[in-house]
A and B are shown apart, each in its own frame.
Chain A
């Protein structure tokens, strides 16, 4: 029988992992949904955010200051990219966009190597955050609790921004019918730049938060981007709510799969086979879910476009 303590702890881990995915997915889904722009370099902005935050916090010995610098810095980089490169790609097909942004990934990986070297940087945390908090006799890493808190705050902020403000109204309108928004005399270009900058800042926040867990390394964005793409496909492209639900779903499934699939397989497979098959099967679970969603609800769980 599964230990309820362990089950609760893994649920916590799943939620935390999902929240980290959400920080990335929120930005990507906005860019993809509203601008109809496939931006693979989103992972590069995540990496950039992680590196900048790590460097600043190493120099100043303040983790908070690292985040405070990384966010606006990456936002500026994002806006620069949008104005100089991506703007020229809006009218092209998705394939051109994929090629161009893939090129940007290579560019950023090399750039980071030139500036910071190949080894990656470790981000020291204030020692208080390197501990765990014991809750119902389960030690939960304090830092991961913080990640969940930040993620929920961002989700709340985005909810207010998208649902309650005029800018949000325009973003939603842009997501469901771009041409109509333009026809009504709204400067859609400005909205695009704003959305892209916002996405970049969110990616940087995700990177800065991920740094102390995974360390800032070259190519860190590509690994996680695949799962983020799965999240936005499941959640519905362009939908923040979808990204939130999708992220938590993927996070929990991923962690639960890794935790308990091995034991489950052992019920009917020899130990050795179960041990090797379980990790492979666990990493397939989210794709199986995605295939299922695509089959029954091709538009995703919470489609943003209704037209």
Chain B
């Protein structure tokens, strides 16, 4: 009697367990990718989407043998829309992982939705100090950088180049103030003036440029992403400031350069910027990524694209580690933390806050062999640099 009971229970247990064991490997992996596809910033989203496409091509549209589907959503650069789209992806489309995010304020608004749903969030660009610090989370990873790191690298460059005085012009919003704080943290010379302009509506910089010229600073430091780059560069030339060297972060990139070239703004050639990556960064993965991107889309990818490519490749490494079973959150997290995948920037490690500890380079704008304007790496500025907010993150590094 007892034997039959045990047998019966075991059989029952088996039937219960069987479908679970069979379902372990997911039938399909769905990744929700939040970016900006409309408006002026739509070019960034397009570049990210193209790069995700290249990553999927390289993976044969499969991760660990499981077919992958990436669903793109447009945040319109609005935090409330970003949050709404994130929740749509989580609860309506039932995606397994959320990725993307260009804007700090959008990712901040959407963060809690992903955390609450118990999913992984792989940030492809937004480098807000809050998520690197106080708001870090075990399920959030970045494949980009923390905002301050890039301008900090620029500050070091200025010191090395003997720039004694600087004039700073940047937009008055979260990232703009981060950039200013970053360069001020490392630049040892004198800051002769600083203008924070209204963002994103102000595209006339005549007043600021006149002040910059009157200050007679050795150099001008700017941060003007997106369409503001071109407006700024053009007015910089027109204001007769071409003799004052311009140092920029997140402004002169593969997205703005074709436009600047179209406008024949030759004063951009030879200007310097800092970044963790450039199209000519010499790693096997990067060479393949850039070559395939250029072949497919006819232009250079930007850092936004490079980071998005990395996001997909990082996710792939975790899915493979878990054998395609997306329920194994701990296994996947451990794999994420190892960052053991082919990154465009080469091997890097994650800090305790899940932001990369990585190298930063000085880039110069040049014309390539075909006459196309691009950026070329001049020298390495930082080796294995970690952001300053990591200490504010309560997670401990156990890997």
Contact = CB atoms under 8 A, between A and B. Distances in A.
B231 interface: yes
Contact of B210 (A13, A123, A214): A13
Interface residues of A, number: 50
A144 B238 contact: yes
B240 A141 contact: yes
Contacts of A213: 203-204, 231, 234-235, 238
Contact of A121 (B177, B204, B239, B262): B262
A184 B67 CA distance: 76
B197 interface: yes
B195 A258 contact: yes
Contacts of B239: 132, 139, 141
Interface stretch (A3-11, A195-203, A238-246): A3-11
A275 B197 CA distance: 10
B264 A215 contact: no
Interface string B197-212: 1100111101110110
A122 B262 contact: yes
A62 interface: no
Given A10-B207, A262-B195, A279 B240 contact: no
B317 interface: no
Contacts of B172: 276, 279-280
A215 B227 contact: yes
B263 interface: yes
Interface in B31-69: 38-40, 42-43, 46
Contacts of A219: 39-40
Contact of B240 (A3, A10, A118, A139): A139
B352 interface: no
B263 A122 contact: yes
A144 B240 CA distance: 12
Interface string B263-275: 1110000000000
Contacts of A14: 207
Given A6-B214, A132-B240, A275-B194, A13 B207 contact: yes
A17 B206 contact: yes
A124 B238 contact: no
A127 interface: yes
Contacts, number: 123
B240 A223 contact: no
A283 B198 contact: yes
Nearest to B238: A141
A295 to B, nearest CB: 25
* Interface SS of chain A: helix
Nearest to A251: B204
B166 to A, nearest CB: 15
B246 interface: no
A123 B214 CA distance: 28
B210 A119 contact: no
Contacts of A212: 234
A255 interface: yes
A29 interface: no
A208 to B, nearest CB: 15
B9 interface: no
A132 B238 contact: yes
Contacts of B262: 58, 121-122, 124
A143 interface: yes
Contact of A214 (B196, B198, B204, B265): B204
Contacts of A143: 238
A268 to B, nearest CB: 18
A134 B237 CA distance: 14
B170 to A, nearest CB: 10
Nearest to A215: B230
A177 interface: no
A16 interface: yes
Contact of B263 (A6, A123, A223): A123
Contacts of A10: 207, 210
Interface string B134-164: 0000000000000000000000000000000
A120 B227 contact: yes
Interface in A205-244: 212-215, 217-220, 223
B288 interface: no
B238 A6 contact: no
B175 to A, nearest CB: 14
A256 B39 CA distance: 30
B267 to A, nearest CB: 9
A240 B397 CA distance: 68
Nearest to B198: A283
A130 B198 contact: no
A220 B39 CA distance: 10
B39 A120 contact: no
Contact of B237 (A58, A130, A278): A130
Interface string A271-307: 0000110111011000000000000000000000000
Contact of A122 (B206, B214, B230): B230
Contacts of B260: 122
B385 interface: no
Nearest to B210: A9
B210 A279 contact: no
Nearest to A123: B263
17 contacts: A3-B214, A6-B214, A119-B43, A122-B234, A124-B264, A132-B239, A139-B239, A141-B206, A141-B240, A213-B203, A213-B234, A215-B230, A219-B39, A219-B40, A255-B207, A279-B172, A283-B198
- The 4 A-B residue pairs whose C-beta atoms are closest, nearest first, are A122-B263, A118-B42, A132-B240, A139-B240
Given A113-B38, A123-B263, A124-B263, 16 more contacts: A5-B214, A10-B210, A13-B207, A17-B204, A119-B42, A119-B43, A119-B259, A120-B230, A122-B230, A131-B240, A212-B234, A213-B204, A215-B259, A275-B194, A275-B196, A282-B198
Interface of A: 3, 5-6, 9-10, 13-14, 16-17, 58, 113, 118-125, 127, 130-132, 134, 139, 141-144, 212-215, 217-220, 223, 255-256, 258-259, 262, 275-276, 278-280, 282-283
